[in-house]
Structure 1
């Protein structure tokens, strides 16, 4: 049985770990050809070799590929687009912006450098990737789906994360604006707001803080990256053909 994104080409940033890696797995399981993009090229290769190939039911990497990209650098993003067009002769029609970083500190202690680095990757990076790849889709007249990753912190804030919360709130507003602009090209743009999810970023949180946060989750547990990836894949598919400009919380009720 063909998957819900069979025959599609998908680019996933932040594909070297966490939600990005899980998204590559689920998209490939559902029939997409996946380009795993990450600043850590080795981690992206690992995603394709050991996770994506297996999810597609084979030991071969098939047409899947890995690519190095620094989403905060417009030259790097354009280079990734050019390499994709050279290899596949067509732009991806699924783009998932999972690349993200944290540099947590109290507002009164947060350095300008740490503020900038988080906004550059999480907000500007999402913008640069969305702009470059949507432009390529419109030039080829391809309908598509862009899924951006925000965070529930972007809605409610969080202590020690003024920079991260601001970047993730910006992703929501940017998604809603882009959806209005790109609708006429039949390109849908949606945003997922994960809650407390078992990722490398969360592993840096002290256990005491984790326990406190878990008390605020009605389902009583952390989310798995695959649970976020399933929602991303739904938004990437024609199953969500009338959904655009939507913000979807995947939080266990947090």
Structure 2
């Protein structure tokens, strides 16, 4: 028996099936036999289709903004569980269960897909999230190779904040936490150098000559062997005359004023400066 082949996410455009030789009557019968549904007379889907994709198929839109971060492997800020969809500016679709983005797209969405183009995702993030969170998403796209730096800066972004993000975003942060830390210190005029090699391996951040910042994301540092390696490197850095501050997710995301205050207090004590006459 011929079966309907869906995309890995659990959906396919009906027009694609018809172009591949399915007759409407045979398609309807086979959908019933496979337990598939037809949404908006357009999308053939599984009953357990991801809720974000189901909303997009039902409302005639595409998944965008923070709801598309998983699809591209991007950083996703806390507290962003409500589905975000982009729909045409003049669409009559409404829903109390989703956040609808009606702004004009930066580029066309991929044909017959339910997830927006990366440029549109970043454009939506720029106007929807606080600046630091948006920057973390944008930088994760650069760091993971989802979008190239030259292309990012060449896109004709439609908003001032998107253009600002394009100018500022870099690929040095290994995680959104690092972006949040660097941007938070930038807000008070402190420059953080990233991925500086000291003691044979890069550190997440270096302030001045001697204040090393290490950021522990849970996923990366939950492994015991990695943790031992980190502690070993911390000891080496201290033996070389560096002060090492290590912060984790809770510190950066939930206790930022305390983190910022600790760094500024260390700088007030001169811990970021090499001793007079010493090599940096």
TM-score by length of 1: 0.31
Q: Which has the higher helix share?
A: 1
Give the TM-score normalised by structure 2. 0.29
